[in-house]
Structure 1
Amino acid sequence: MRLNIALVLLMLGTPLVATAERTERPQDYAVTVPLTLSGEGPWYRMQLPMAAQLAARHADFRDLRLFNGEGERLAYSLIPGAERFAESQQRADLRLFPLHGPAGRRDAVPTLRVQRGDDGSIIELAEPAATAELLRGWLLDASATDFSLQRLYLEWQAESEGFQRFSIEASDDLDHWRPVGEGQVARLSFNGERIDKSEVELPTIRARYLRLLWLAPEQAANLSAASVSGTRSTAEPAALIWSAALQGQADEQGVIWTMPMALPLERVRIDIEQANSLAPVVLQGRRDSKAPWVPLANSVLYRLPGDGHELVQDQIELPSWPVSQLRLQVDSRGVGLGSSEPRMHLAMRATELLFLVRGSPPYQLALGREDAQAGSLPVTTLVPGFDAQRLVGMGQAVIAGQIAQAEVAPASTTAEPRFDWKRAGLWAVLLVGVGVLVLMALSVLRASRGRS
């Protein structure tokens, strides 16, 4: 009986020890900065600056956390190098071609002979010689559009007022047509009032051609013009985030810059302080201080006069390989970059941070913990039904103040690991408890043998 009770206590106590070990507080992190929120929540987004990247202990931000005013952790997601989506409203005029067919045959689709240009636009549309005179519909050439079609505008005339109902089909090759739905325009007047409906909603489609076939009345209205409107969506790469100027250290082979960790840099900028400077340079990099140097780029940096203004080339593009050290070698045949040691700015693609607000402010961003485990959720878990367009409507978060710039120095490979007294104490409690249970179990076993 005692053994069963002891086992139950052990099972209940072990989760408590594990829970205590996972508890995190803002004080456990080297850097904490307050956040300012604006816009509509409860989800907020922010672009993490380069200062945050340099303050973190891990390049993948596994040591990033968010806390509310009560010290509770907030759920978040990270989207590295997230593309930015932009939308713009577009409108385009369409070319019109009448379609004729036999009277009394609503199911008969007009046949066509079409000649198209190299870009797919219609040059000529000829009707068969034996067609009837009844106007059955219209073919609209939308091959010049490069956006999704959402609304159709018609300028039309008919023999009498009333409703004009027609089917809408779409095609990309004039041979295969897919139904889009039905449209209706109307023109009504009574007692000095007038209703004129000439717009038709489309179900957001991409198509080179539209075909309108009249359902009621049988004869189509005369169209004098047609146009479509829609939305053009463009995806742009994530913005580059830049660091503050970093001072390098000169040696006999060049100037070396050391980052706290290996980062996938895409561009660097060198401060050229002196006018009339020109320097062919070679930029090398390596993942850590023990790896060999690898050439990253050859370039010519300059600050020269030209055509009434100054010409400056101070940036070098990189292949996005993770590097923790950069070395700049200046060709002595140039005039150099000045008397002082050059300073460098680092750039990489921004990481988007999304988080769910709960509790009261102030909200804090925490960074800098060596033994932290990844805490980011998949974005589809954090935001059910997520798609990239939802980013546009989310609230914004910004860092209030500045993140202290990390001291850019190589990590020591000989430093002794810090002893975690908190974790050691928890394990000691667990081991003592196990020992007590073992002693109790042995006591019970001896007592049972004595009775037998």
Structure 2
Amino acid sequence: MAAVLALLPCFAALAAGRQDYGWEWPLTLSQDDAGAYRVTLDEFVYRRLQDPQLRDLVVFDGAGGAVPTAVLAPEQPLARTAPRLALPWFALPMSKTPSARRWELLSESDADGRLRRVEVSGGAPAERAQADVLIVDLSRVREAVAALELEWKPVEALDLGYRVEASDDLDHWQPLATRGRLVDLQREGRRLLHRRIDLFGLLPHHQRARYLRLTPDRGDQALAIASVEAVFAPRATAAPLSWIELSPSRSSDDRQMYEFRIDGRFPVEQADVALDGNHAVEWRLESRDDADAQWRSRGAPWMGYQVGAEGGRSRPNALATSVRDRQWRLRASTAVATAPVLRLGYRPEVAVFVAQGAPPYALAAGSARALPEPSPVPRLVEALRERHGRDWQPATAYLGSARVLAGEAALRPDWNWRKGLLWGVLLIGALVVAGLALSLLRSSRATAAAEAVPETAEDVEPAPANPDKPDAE
């Protein structure tokens, strides 16, 4: 039994490592201390992957240890940062007494409505407050404003609410259904900062809001504004499609059915058919993962055509969802003269990893042996975005040239003699333990039976002789 226990660390040594993957790509980091990185997968990486869930892809550190890795859709970490625009703004004096707020704006603007100068008339307030009313000029903004972000000079402590009003002419003001709150607090080396006033997609030129007035709730808070920026909604941009072209591996005699095979696990989301000459053919697309599976339809039939130079050609057909199947089949509504070329479009995903351990890092792919458990990286990305804002994204890493690790051998199930021997020893050890347990059970039963006998044969007295029976001569 002790010998069996001594062999258990050997099984840990057989955990998935670099030797269980076919290929690797060294990674170059765009920053040294970002902590989390993303690398875009290319066609060569996809062609090495075997698992439909892409579990045979991982990043290793310089010591050969696997680090948390997950494959994410390109729009998750690759959304563009929300664009910003510095806005003109003007400070107006505010009285500590609400009834004393009697001032008149004298403004100068150009033909587009852009403010050039704002002056206050009507007499100075009896006692001026420490915080000012702000007039923010949105006249040159032509898209929806998600929020305003304000910068101010250092303060000891700040917690100040603001009312927001809108105007198209600086004379008539309408309150908006939003409020702002600026916070800047520090304690024990930590800082709580909130500089954003949400406007929820305000359209200045469509909602008569070319100017905004921000009025503080009270005037006893010292605050000197340094800048005001408009924050627009992030412009989510889909990654461009990449295309792979497949020639038929098999066709029917009537030239209406063509089968194709793709190596790798591409996230196919569009399909197109290239055919020589002018044509108009209705196509049906099906796919499956292996020869034992049933063919499954991948969307409704679509008309593929090409009509001269002026008529152009049909657009690619979008699939209902991305598919990673290896086998594809086209069915034509009529016989075609030449074999079609199936074009499959996909958007390259990104592998996001945490830079645990020491560099250099390398991405490894292609294995039939190593299928690790789900990674916590997707939850980590969400947590970091909640902390740093929805625009946060991991730093970039870049793929180097591929290097062979185990090569094609990693794509075959690993039943080598070492693992077989260890499993054999483990089985023998289990049988030995079972035999020992059975032996102990039998021994305990025998002991219990022996203790149940009260006396031995020597302790039993002989029976008295029968007096009526004559003695034998």
Settle same-fold status: TM greater than 0.5.
yes
Maintained 8 Å contact 1:68/1:359? yes
- Once residues 38 and 325 of structure 1 are traced to their aligned partners in structure 2, the CA distance between those partners, rounded to angstroms, is 36
Matched, 1:72 2:61: no
Q: One-letter code of the match for 1:206?
A: D
Counterpart of 1:86 (choices 80, 83, 91) is: 80
CA distance in 2, matches of 1:236, 1:260: 31
| CA spacing shift, 1:134–1:301, aligned 2, 3 Å | farther
Q: What are the equivalent positions in structure 2 for 1:3-18 lying under 5 Å apart?
A: 9=2, 12-13=5-6, 16=9, 18=11
Letter in 1 for 2:247: Q
Q: Distance in 1 between matches of 2:352 and 2:419?
A: 31
Residue 247 of structure 1: how far off its partner (Å): 1.6
CA contact (8 A) 2:88 2:136 kept: no
CA distance in structure 1 between the aligned counterparts of 2:375 and 2:279, rounded to whole angstroms? 46
Greater strand fraction, Structure 1 or Structure 2:
1
In structure 2, the partner of 1:302 is 306
Structure 1 gaps of 5+ residues are: 1-5, 111-131, 154-165, 184-200, 218-226, 408-415
The C-alpha deviation readout for 1:175-212, integer Å capped at 9, x for no partner, is 656353499xxxxxxxxxxxxxxxxx981222254433
Q: Amino acid of the residue matched to residue 247 of structure 1?
A: S
Q: Percent identity?
A: 15
Q: Which amino acid aligns with 2:270?
A: R
The correspondence of residues 328-367 of structure 1 with structure 2, limited to 5 A, is: 328-332=330-334, 339=338, 341-357=339-355, 358-361=357-360, 363-367=362-366
Asked if 1:428 corresponds to 2:424, the answer is yes
Matches of 1:171 and 1:61 in 2, distance apart? Answer: 52
Q: 1:40 deviation in Å?
A: 0.9
CA–CA distance in structure 1, aligned partners of residues 161 and 447 of structure 2? 93
Matched residue SS, 1:52: helix
> How much has 1:396 moved relative to structure 2?
1.4
2:50 match: secondary structure: coil
Greater Rg by CA: 2
The answer to whether the 8 Å contact 1:150/1:203 transfers is yes
Distance 1:442 1:60, change over 3 A: closer
Alignment of 1:32-51 (within 5 A): 32-41=23-32, 42-51=35-44
Q: Output the CA distance in 2 between the equivalents of 1:242 and 1:228.
A: 41
Matches within 5 A, 1:11-30: 12-13=5-6, 16=9, 18-21=11-14, 23-29=15-21
Instruction: Letter of the 2:352 partner, please give it.
Output: L
**Cα displacement (A) at 1:46:** 0.7
Return the alpha-carbon distance in structure 2 between the equivalents of residues 379 and 301 of structure 1.
42
Q: For the structure 1 residues 56 and 443, does the alpha-carbon distance in structure 2 shift closer, same or farther, using more than 3 Å as the test?
A: same
- Asked if 1:239 corresponds to 2:239, the answer is yes
> Relative to structure 1, is the Cα distance of residues 366 and 104 closer, same or farther in structure 2, using a 3 angstrom cutoff?
closer
Is the 1:106–1:215 Cα contact (8 Å) retained in structure 2? Answer: no
Give the structure 1 partner of residue 56 of structure 2.
Answer: 63
Question: C-alpha distance in 1, partners of 2:151/2:426?
Answer: 72
Q: Distance in 1 between matches of 2:369 and 2:246?
A: 23
Taking the aligned partners of 1:402 and 1:344, their CA distance within structure 2 comes to 30
Is the CA contact (8 Å cut-off) linking 1:265 and 1:346 kept in structure 2?
yes
Shift of 1:282: 0.9
Candidates 255, 262, 266, aligned match of 2:269: 266
For normalisation by structure 2, the TM-score amounts to 0.60
3-state SS of paired residue (2:392):
helix
- Partner SS for 1:435: helix
**Residues 80/422 of structure 1: CA separation in 2 closer, same or farther (3 Å cut):** farther
**Does the 8 Å contact 1:149/1:202 carry over to 2?**
no
TM-score, structure 1 as length reference = 0.62
Counterpart selection for 1:203 from 187, 192, 195: 195
- Contact preservation (8 Å) 1:53, 1:59: no
- Indicate how the Cα distance of structure 1 residues 281 and 402 shifts in structure 2: closer, same or farther if over 3 A, else same: farther
- In the alignment, the residues of structure 2 paired with residue 107 and residue 428 of structure 1 have an alpha-carbon distance, to the nearest angstrom, of 92
Gaps of 5+ in 2: 103-120, 126-132, 153-159, 167-173, 185-192, 203-211, 221-226, 452-473
State the distance in 2 between where 1:108 and 1:178 align: 23
The 3 A distance-change label for structure 1 pair 104 and 211 is closer
- Choose the corresponding residue for 2:392, options 376, 380, 390: 390
In 2, Cα distance between the equivalents of 1:417 and 1:38? Answer: 33
Contact 2:145 2:232 in 1 (8 A): yes
Indicate conservation of the 8 Å contact 1:44/1:356, yes or no.
Answer: yes
Confirm whether residue 256 of structure 1 aligns to residue 259 of structure 2.
yes
Residue 294 of structure 2 aligns to a residue in which SS? coil
Quick one: structure 1 residues 417 and 62, their matched pair in 2 at CA, closer, same or farther if it must change by over 3 Å? closer
Equivalent residue number for residue 316 of structure 2: 315
- In the TM superposition, residue 353 of structure 1 has moved relative to its aligned partner by 0.6
Equivalent AA in structure 1 for residue 51 of structure 2? H
Judging changes above 3 Å, is the alpha-carbon distance between structure 1 residues 437 and 375 closer, same or farther for their aligned structure 2 residues? same
Q: Name which of 320, 326, 335 aligns with 2:328.
A: 326
- Per-residue CA deviations over 1:56-104 (Å, capped at 9, x if unaligned) read 112210121233454332332222344322132224568x9x99x9x88
Q: Distance in 2 between matches of 1:28 and 1:234?
A: 41
Distance 1:181 1:295 in 2: 52
Residue 271 of structure 1: CA displacement? 4.0
Give the secondary-structure state (helix, strand or coil) at the position aligned to 1:391: coil
Distance 1:368 1:269, change over 3 A: farther
Alpha-carbon contact 1:59-1:261 (below 8 Å) kept: no
Residues 261-283 of structure 1, C-alpha deviations (whole Å, 9 max, x = no match):
886521124445x5x53333313
* Matches of 2:359 and 2:402, distance apart in 1: 20
